[in-house]
Amino acid sequence: MKILHTADWHLGKIVHNVHMTDDQREMLDDFVELVKQEEPDAVIIAGDLYDRSIPPKQAVELLNDTLTVLVNDLNVPVLAVSGNHDSPDRLQFGSEMFKRQGLFLDSKLKKEREPVTLHDDHGPVHFHLIPYLEPAEVAYVFEDPSIKTHQQAAERIVADIKERFSMDERHVWIGHAFLAGGMESESEERLSMIGGSPYVEAGMYHDFTYVALGHLHQPQRVTKDTIRYSGSLLKYSFSEANHRKSVTIIELDGNGVSSIDQRPLVPKRDFEVIEGYFEELLDGQAASNPENYLHVRLLDDGQLLDPMGKLRKAYPNVLHLERVQKNAKTDFQQLEKVKERQKRSPEELFMSFYEDMKGESIPENRRELVQKAIQSLQDEERGK
């Protein structure tokens, strides 16, 4: 059986006030051509189909067009789950009806759920579709209030699968989570840390034939080759400028995974960081493609008149302009502070702000109120 693994399409994404829908449509056209060439037995989309819970009309149309071609025209089963950017309720609409057409989309957890089972010459392959879930949702479904972290939630779902199914057969986990040890970038939204760490240990998945993950945008393996993030469809920040986007292709035989390969996704407009003096950059030769989306780092000391406007005559898609300061050590320290803040959860950022303003730690009763308020806002953003 041949499986094509992709994730994190983020349809409707806006980067530096630029709508990425046209770029996404071009890439998905290439993706469909790849599916035609590879003729997989199944396509996996491991979450974050949309970039926000209420996607723009153009994003909805693009997803509809792409899935229609895959399922109706190419007759390829599509197995997808919702991610932390998606609205579970909106994606769940019509999902039972779509199963008859070969589109299997899960955004809600059910206690007695069944996997999607496909067959090849070696027998059944069971696909477990596990959407992004808050620990409280898993605790509610399994009636277990002791579940308070993402790790505990994942452990309970894995235990349920092992209790009800024989792991001697081939099982594929499709999920959207943050595995400890994975490499993140700036364009991923931090997962909830209400009640504990957002990280999940990869070791609990070692009994699965293959683990198809979404959330981290860089293609990568975590602890073993069969536990993988496919990476995002496109680059969505300049922190991903050095990433090589791809689609993962997995071949299964009777014993499990026989091969794993990556097919590159090459956009027409890439993300690139260029650096130099203003007058030197104006010749238009600094970027590998002048149409690329650019972060420009200027080395000039003096005042410049309309540098952005002039640079855009040579590079029409300059998105960000930075003046590089002489004190590299100060720059490095500031960058480290920014990175440190980006790793903090909303709760941690508020607690730090409170301490700065009040000169003391926040009382426990107020901490609980803040946690509830943050959770409420996150639920509202996800469309609950």
In angstroms, the Cα distances linking 129 to 116, 158, 233, 278 are 8, 12, 20, 51
Whether the per-residue pLDDT at 335 is higher than 60: the answer is no
Percent of the chain with pLDDT over 90: 73
Whether the per-residue pLDDT at 188 is higher than 90: the answer is no
Whether the per-residue pLDDT at 376 is higher than 90: the answer is no
Summarised one tens digit per residue, pLDDT across range 211-226 is 999 999 999 999 999 9
Give the span between the Cα atoms of 382 and 85, in whole angstroms: 7
Mean pLDDT of 326-347: 62
Residue 379 confidence (pLDDT): 74
Find all residues with CB under 8 Å of 236, minimum gap 6, and list them.
10, 13, 15, 20, 187, 217
Summarised one tens digit per residue, pLDDT across range 311-331 is 999 999 999 999 887 655 555
Give the span between the Cα atoms of 227 and 179, in whole angstroms: 10
Report the SS3 class of residue 164. Answer: helix
Q: Could you tell me the residue ranges of all domains in the chain? A: 2-264, 271-324, 335-381
- Which position has the higher pLDDT, 338 or 303? 303
Summarised one tens digit per residue, pLDDT across range 140-164 is 999 999 999 999 999 999 999 999 9
Give the span between the Cα atoms of 209 and 254, in whole angstroms: 11
Residue 339 confidence (pLDDT): 60
Residue 342 confidence (pLDDT): 61
Look at residues 162, 189, 149, 97 and name the one whose alpha carbon lies nearest to residue 378: 189
CB 8 within 8 A of CB 214: yes
Mean pLDDT of 174-179: 95
Whether the per-residue pLDDT at 334 is higher than 60: the answer is no
Give me 260's structure tokens. Answer: 């794993």
Residue 55 confidence (pLDDT): 95
Tell me the residue type at 3: I
Residue 161 confidence (pLDDT): 96
Per-residue pLDDT band for 350 (boundaries 50, 70, 90) equals confident
- Which position has the higher pLDDT, 154 or 186? 154
Mean pLDDT of 88-93: 89
Tell me the residue type at 293: Y
Whether the per-residue pLDDT at 265 is higher than 90: the answer is yes
Whether the per-residue pLDDT at 138 is higher than 90: the answer is yes
Fold of the 2-264 domain: Purple Acid Phosphatase; chain A, domain 2 (3.60.21)
Per-residue pLDDT band for 247 (boundaries 50, 70, 90) equals very high
Residue 352 confidence (pLDDT): 79
Neighbours of 44 (CB within 10 A): 27
CB 24 within 8 A of CB 63: no
Whether the per-residue pLDDT at 287 is higher than 90: the answer is yes
Mean predicted lDDT score pLDDT of the chain: 90
Residue 16 confidence (pLDDT): 93
Per-residue pLDDT band for 336 (boundaries 50, 70, 90) equals low
pTM of model > 0.85: no
Residue 370 confidence (pLDDT): 86
Tell me the residue type at 88: P
Give the span between the Cα atoms of 314 and 102, in whole angstroms: 47
Whether the per-residue pLDDT at 187 is higher than 90: the answer is no
Domains 2-264 and 271-324 share a fold: no
Tell me the residue type at 41: D
Q: 93-107 burial string, b = 16+ CB within 10 Å, else e?
A: eeeeeeeeebbbbbb
Residue 185 confidence (pLDDT): 75
Mean pLDDT of 83-107: 91
Whether the per-residue pLDDT at 195 is higher than 90: the answer is no
Mean pLDDT of 43-55: 95
Residue 183 confidence (pLDDT): 84
CB 44 within 8 A of CB 80: yes
Mean pLDDT of 23-33: 97
In angstroms, the Cα distances linking 26 to 22, 40, 141, 267 are 6, 21, 40, 8
Mean pLDDT of 272-300: 94
Neighbours of 169 (CB within 10 A): 13
Neighbours of 373 (CB within 10 A): 13
Residue 129 confidence (pLDDT): 97
CATH number among 3.30.160, 2.70.98, 1.20.120, 3.30.70, domain 271-324: 3.30.160
